[in-house]
Structure 1
Amino acid sequence: MRPLLASLPLLALLGGCSYLPNWAQLPSVTGDKVLGLVTPYRVEVVQGNVLTKEMVARVKPGMNKAQVRDLLGSPLLTDIFHESRWDYPFTINRQGATPQKRLVIAEFDGDRLKTLTVPDDLPTENEFVAAVNTFKPNRKQPKLELTEAERTALPPPKRSADAAPTAAAEGPAPGRTYPPLDAAPAKAGS
């Protein structure tokens, strides 16, 4: 009787396995959902230099390396065997946004910029922000500034005659005296 009672929990566990779905038909972990039930958190990976059309438009052939570095930032890749080439790769994988991958190449002749190779899909600053902004507020954004017409319509501030004077107008608190700031410090021992 004891062996039969001891095997009952084991039989219940095995019977519960018959209710699990067919594992071969479920999508893998690399899909959008794990086991078709749970969407895993994906780490946001941003690598490289964010370059926009506005930034690249300021760079002109003939600029020296320091000027290009000031405008585009330090290159992510510089090769000791190809010192005349700087690579500015950029990749971003963000949940809820389409992955982006770009490469801007600056080639130099000595210390001067010879060519700047820019991909066709390089976004403007506003396009880039819109592409990576996965936060979509469902409410109207609050108004942060008044228009000029609204400012002129405001009533002027009221000044009351019995307003308390400010502390600066009264001077220091009674009973306190302060030495002048230009006085020489007293010598020790005198």
Structure 2
Amino acid sequence: MSALSRPYTRAYRWGLAAVLVVGAGACSSFDQATKGAADFITLYRPEVVQGNFVSKEQVAVLQPGMTRLQVRDILGTPLLSSLFHHDRWDYVFTMKRQGVDFQHYRLTAYFKDDVLERFEGDEMPSETEFVQRIGGDRTYKVPNLEATEEQLAKFPPAAASAPLAAASAAMAPSRAAGSYPPLEPAR
């Protein structure tokens, strides 16, 4: 190197060192405001939902002594069913969504001779609580799904069932129950 290029090299090194020091300092001050700006710049972040959501209401219905079929009807098909742990079903639910806290729930059902022996896991939220958690800043009102006596009085039972009975009679097969057509034509 010539003597003429050494000052530029030295200045370049000092400039590079200054940029690295400022950059390292900026990394340590990455707080909520800069995170919000980074989220605004990020164009798309996929929502990741894995597993079966199990609500507090579903867990309340579980009782030791239920069959595997009954447990599957209540909770759904388990996410994990191992060949090495035949008597254990794992229900795991995770959800990563932009603007919402990470959601992770786990429930394990233990069977003995195809009958539910016990279950254990996290404290599950109710369906309403879960909707509120994943709704972010929005709040949702769960509608009342029960009809009052006045609302039910608008629909007389005899008038409502007559068209339904006529429609089901028209759709009923003419053959006797258990009588099926042959699979192959007669020879």
TM-score range, shorter chain: 0.5 to 0.7
Q: Is the aligned partner of 1:96 residue 2:66?
A: no
The CA deviation string for residues 98-152 of structure 1, in whole angstroms up to 9 with x for no partner, is: 11111100000011000011323x1011000000012627xxx9xxxxxx9xx9x
Q: Is the aligned partner of 1:51 residue 2:54?
A: yes
Could you tell me how far apart the structure 1 residues matched to 2:129 and 2:37 are?
A: 34
Could you tell me how far apart the structure 1 residues matched to 2:79 and 2:138 are?
A: 31
Could you tell me how far apart the structure 2 residues matched to 1:105 and 1:93 are?
A: 21
Q: Work out which of the residue numbers 111, 128, 131 in structure 2 matches 1:129.
A: 131
* Higher Rg: 1
The CA deviation string for residues 49-91 of structure 1, in whole angstroms up to 9 with x for no partner, is: 1011101111111111011001000000011011000000111
Could you tell me how far apart the structure 2 residues matched to 1:27 and 1:42 are?
A: 22
Superposition map of 1:134-145 within 5 A: 134=136, 136=138
Assess if the C-alpha contact under 8 Å between 1:107 and 1:115 holds in 2.
yes
- Cα shift at 1:27: 3.2
Q: CA RMSD in A?
A: 3.4
Assess if the C-alpha contact under 8 Å between 1:26 and 1:36 holds in 2.
no
Q: Is the aligned partner of 1:64 residue 2:62?
A: no
Could you tell me how far apart the structure 2 residues matched to 1:31 and 1:45 are?
A: 24
Could you tell me how far apart the structure 2 residues matched to 1:99 and 1:63 are?
A: 32
Query: Going by fraction, where is helix more abundant, 1 or 2?
Result: 2
Assess if the C-alpha contact under 8 Å between 1:75 and 1:86 holds in 2.
yes
- Cα shift at 1:43: 2.1
1:23 matched to which residue of 2? 23
Could you tell me how far apart the structure 2 residues matched to 1:36 and 1:23 are?
A: 19
Unaligned segments of structure 2, at least 5 residues: 1-14, 142-147, 152-187
> Secondary structure of the equivalent of 2:66?
coil
Counterpart of 1:54, as a letter, is E
Could you tell me how far apart the structure 1 residues matched to 2:92 and 2:35 are?
A: 35
What count of residue pairs does the alignment treat as equivalent?
A: 122
Q: Work out which of the residue numbers 66, 73, 76 in structure 2 matches 1:73.
A: 76
Could you tell me how far apart the structure 2 residues matched to 1:37 and 1:73 are?
A: 40
Assess if the C-alpha contact under 8 Å between 1:27 and 1:33 holds in 2.
no
Counterpart of 2:135, as a letter, is N
Unaligned segments of structure 1, at least 5 residues: 1-16, 142-147, 152-190
Q: Percent identity?
A: 40
- Cα shift at 1:24: 2.8
